[in-house]
Amino acid sequence: MKPLRALLALSITAAVIGVVGCKKEPSPPTTGTAPTTVPQGETADQFIARVNAEYKAMYPEMSSAQWLSNTYINDDSAMIAAKSNERWLTQLNSWIEQSKRFEGQPMSPDTARSIQLLKLLTAMPAPKDPAKLAELTRIATKMDGMYGSGKYCTGEGDAKNCRQLGDLEDVLRSSRDYDAQLDAWQGWHTIAQPMRKDYTRFVELVNEGARDMGYADTGEMWRSGYDMSPAEIAAETDRLWGQVKPLYEQLHCYTRTKLEATYGADKGHVAGNMLPAHLMGNMWQQDWGNLWDVLAPYKNAGSLDVNGALAAQYQQQFDAQMAKNPDSREPEQQAQLEVDAQLATARQMTERAQDFYVSLGMPKLPETYWSKTQFVKPRDRDVVCHASAWDMNMAGDVRTKMCIKPNEEDFTTIYHELGHVYYYMAYNKQPPLFQGGAHDGFHEAIGDTIVLAMTPKYLQSIGLVGDQQQSNEALINAQMRMALAKVSFLPFGLMIDRWRWGVFDGSIKPGDYNKAWWDLKAKYQGVAPATARGEEFFDAGAKYHVPGNTPYTRYFLSHVLQFQFYKALCDASGYKGPLYECSFYGNKEAGAKFQAMLSKGQSQPWQKTLKELTGGEKMDASAVLEYFAPLQTWLKQQNEGKTCGWQPDGKIAAAAKPAAGKG
């Protein structure tokens, strides 16, 4: 499973190996030994040229196996995916071993960088021992499948009702019934309970792989992909969090007040003034945008109800399907018409997203994108619905895989995924080992930079919202809409890998997995479960990236970087007004600057790439604060006199402090 270039590059599960186009390469063996014949007297530069060629040659078969196991979950596709991943990781270990010959030898700077990158090509470092390597790929594929096919079933016999993640997310998105939300939230978390044993073993195996490569543990390896030391990037994340934390605390305080008004003082928070996990409109409390009905600052200051507009578009499609098939009244036929309407709407939404990129001067997506992409959840089988973007062959076969529903969250996720796709297409001309994000946070930030440019004006221009007022109230509404997606995410973006770093370095023991998870949720997010979550649960496993083994710090970094990119592109477009009103839609200068960055891939240290775009070479959250300045002022006023903050140990009285005047 797992993305080939998972660690430094993408988002996905696309891996590789298998076909070996290059002549001297025999077919890779199915297990164990290193497949490559090493040419005598090869220089370091020749070695990297060979690895690049072999990598590119084996990539498509591996991607196909991964694509298949993600879009047709069954035992057969799982076996094929595990086997092909086994061959890939064996090959990768062999290259890494071979590269050791060149330590201390003369080589070009590009070769030196490529050898560094080689060690970071997977997020799943595999032990050298072939039996353990095979065990690792089996566990990884199994956990991916458990997540993708996870179901929460209630009732018996004819009354049996099974719901998957999408159904349970619908409840959190739309229901405001306390118990229904609690049931949906708890129900989804049951799917992760059986993963705990597998995950524990997974950790042992990847740590052995990381140590085989010379890292202390897998977390240290993950932190080695940032053109700075592992300790330095960890410190950078602390620094950036320190910049934005006061803003998050204000949003938290306002949100708690509103939840208390909605659900009552006793149910609107949990002990310690923390937000109840099941009431945040999102399974992981990482994006509070679905709470718009509860949190909208001004009800009558111009509607930003994108959900309503997309639902109406879907309804139109459905009515059109019904008109074409007036006799389709059976439940089976109705269900098919629903999927057809979903698909038509999903394609329209994707065309919209493509249009933004094209307006910047970027190319249209290739025809194969449209024919091979998975847009909606198929009716006949389990698939991994978690959105991802795929580069199948480093040569233009790009796809996305989503289960698109007509709502705002999925609409912006399409823009996000196309960011990955446009990055792939732009750096496909680079040697394979340089095909990746400048760092992985860059990869995650491309599409989100476009999302920041989806201002109310832009939404109006594409018919998703009505006429927009020019007023302070409308501005605060627009800022709140963005903050619920972006600011609420920040501590979540940090805590996931704080947990995994601890799991990998052994400071969090298997017997404390769940306690540590909730301690970190409390510390960073100020979120807590409404009912006890003991060690019989494995709540981390209910978040895709944990069983899917996708590093998560990338998203935290992205949520800072995207504001820096946005500001730089606004500047490039010649825009002069306040940052939050800028949209560079249609601006070719901004587009050219963006494209220049994308086409560099990871061929140079990210600091240089950042400097070329923004003029600075440090990640910095001041653009986040500049963007949200009006909202922060407004929130402080709203929170005045309130007791803000929370107590991670659950004692309400302990650290209460008034909000007024706080940073």
Q: Considering only residues 582-641, where is the footprint of ligand X8Z by CB under 6 A?
A: none
Distance, in Å, from the CA atom of 38 to the CA atom of 101, rounded to the nearest integer, reads 11
Q: Does 390 bind ligand X8Z (CB under 6 A)?
A: no
- Torsions phi, psi of 621, nearest 5? -90, 10
Residue 388's binding partner, choosing from ligand X8Z, Zn ion, none, with beta-carbon cut-off 5 to 8 A by kind? ligand X8Z
Pick from 128, 123, 141: which is nearest to 31 by CA? 128
Q: How far is the CB of 13 from ligand X8Z (least distance, A)?
A: 10
Nearer to ligand X8Z, 67 or 555 (CB): 555
Residue 54's binding partner, choosing from Zn ion, ligand X8Z, none, with beta-carbon cut-off 5 to 8 A by kind? none
Q: Which of 278, 420, 439, 443 is catalytic?
A: 420
Q: Please indicate whether residue 278 is annotated as part of the active site.
A: no
Distance, in Å, from the CA atom of 487 to the CA atom of 627, rounded to the nearest integer, reads 11
Pick from 491, 441, 505, 48: which is nearest to 225 by CA? 441
Q: How far is the CB of 226 from ligand X8Z (least distance, A)?
A: 18
Nearer to ligand X8Z, 496 or 635 (CB): 496
Pick from 196, 170, 197, 173: which is nearest to 540 by CA? 196
- Torsions phi, psi of 613, nearest 5? -85, -45
Distance, in Å, from the CA atom of 320 to the CA atom of 345, rounded to the nearest integer, reads 12
Q: Please indicate whether residue 545 is annotated as part of the active site.
A: yes
Q: Which of 55, 226, 444, 580 is catalytic?
A: 444
Residue 587's binding partner, choosing from Zn ion, ligand X8Z, none, with beta-carbon cut-off 5 to 8 A by kind? none
Amino acid occupying residue 395: A
CB proximity list for 308: less than 8 A, separation 6 or greater: none
Amino acid occupying residue 386: H
Binding mask 3-42 for ligand X8Z (x = CB under 6 A): --------x-------------------------------
Sole binder of ligand X8Z in the list 218, 237, 290, 413 (CB under 6 A): 413
Q: How far is the CB of 555 from ligand X8Z (least distance, A)?
A: 4
Q: How far is the CB of 537 from ligand X8Z (least distance, A)?
A: 20
Q: Please indicate whether residue 387 is annotated as part of the active site.
A: yes
Contacts with ligand X8Z by CB under 6 A: the residue count is: 7
CA atoms within 13 A on the CB side of 634: 18
The region of 10-18, 313-321, 342-350, 519-527 touching Zn ion under the rule CB under 5 A is 10-18
Length, in residues, of the chain: 663
Give CA angle at 500 (498, 502), nearest 5°.
Answer: 70
Distance, in Å, from the CA atom of 139 to the CA atom of 143, rounded to the nearest integer, reads 6
CB proximity list for 1: less than 8 A, separation 6 or greater: 13, 15, 66, 69, 81, 82, 85, 137, 140, 141, 144, 548, 549
Question: Exposed, middle or buried by CB within 10 Å (0-12, 13-18, 19+), for 247?
Answer: buried
Distance, in Å, from the CA atom of 49 to the CA atom of 56, rounded to the nearest integer, reads 11
Handedness of CA 555, 373, 406, 350 (dihedral sign): positive
| DSSP 8-state code for residue 100 | G
Binding mask 430-459 for Zn ion (x = CB under 5 A): --------------x---------------
Q: Which of 252, 269, 278, 416 is catalytic?
A: 416
Nearer to ligand X8Z, 388 or 564 (CB): 388
Q: Please indicate whether residue 416 is annotated as part of the active site.
A: yes
Residue 66's binding partner, choosing from ligand X8Z, Zn ion, none, with beta-carbon cut-off 5 to 8 A by kind? none
Q: Which of 341, 417, 438, 443 is catalytic?
A: 417
Distance, in Å, from the CA atom of 168 to the CA atom of 162, rounded to the nearest integer, reads 10
Q: Which of 15, 82, 346, 387 is catalytic?
A: 387
Nearer to Zn ion, 11 or 181 (CB): 11
Q: Does 387 bind ligand X8Z (CB under 6 A)?
A: yes
Give the tokens for residue 594.
């963006």
What Å distances lie between residue 606 and 130, 471, 597, CA to CA?
A: 35, 40, 10
CB proximity list for 586: less than 8 A, separation 6 or greater: 359, 360
Sole binder of ligand X8Z in the list 321, 388, 562, 609 (CB under 6 A): 388
What Å distances lie between residue 325 and 314, 335, 346, CA to CA?
A: 16, 13, 20
Q: Please indicate whether residue 103 is annotated as part of the active site.
A: no
| DSSP 8-state code for residue 539 | G
The region of 11-19, 38-46, 352-360, 595-603 touching Zn ion under the rule CB under 5 A is 11-19
Q: Which of 189, 252, 269, 386 is catalytic?
A: 386
Nearer to Zn ion, 11 or 342 (CB): 11
DSSP 17-36: -----STTPPPPPSSSS--P
**Nearest residue (beta carbon) to ligand X8Z:** 11
Nearer to ligand X8Z, 51 or 425 (CB): 425
Sole binder of Zn ion in the list 1, 3, 5, 11 (CB under 5 A): 11
Nearer to ligand X8Z, 365 or 387 (CB): 387
CB 479 within 8 A of CB 48: no
Q: How far is the CB of 473 from ligand X8Z (least distance, A)?
A: 29
Residue 413's binding partner, choosing from Zn ion, ligand X8Z, none, with beta-carbon cut-off 5 to 8 A by kind? ligand X8Z
Residue 88's binding partner, choosing from Zn ion, ligand X8Z, none, with beta-carbon cut-off 5 to 8 A by kind? none
Sole binder of ligand X8Z in the list 513, 555, 627, 628 (CB under 6 A): 555
Q: Please indicate whether residue 199 is annotated as part of the active site.
A: no
| DSSP 8-state code for residue 275 | E
Nearer to Zn ion, 11 or 321 (CB): 11
Nearer to ligand X8Z, 286 or 488 (CB): 286
SS3 state of residue 535: coil
Contacts with Zn ion by CB under 5 A: the residue count is: 2
Q: Please indicate whether residue 555 is annotated as part of the active site.
A: yes
Per CB under 5 A, residues contacting Zn ion are 11, 444
Per CB under 6 A, residues contacting ligand X8Z are 11, 286, 387-388, 413, 416, 555
Give the catalytic positions in this structure.
386-387, 416-417, 420, 444, 545, 555
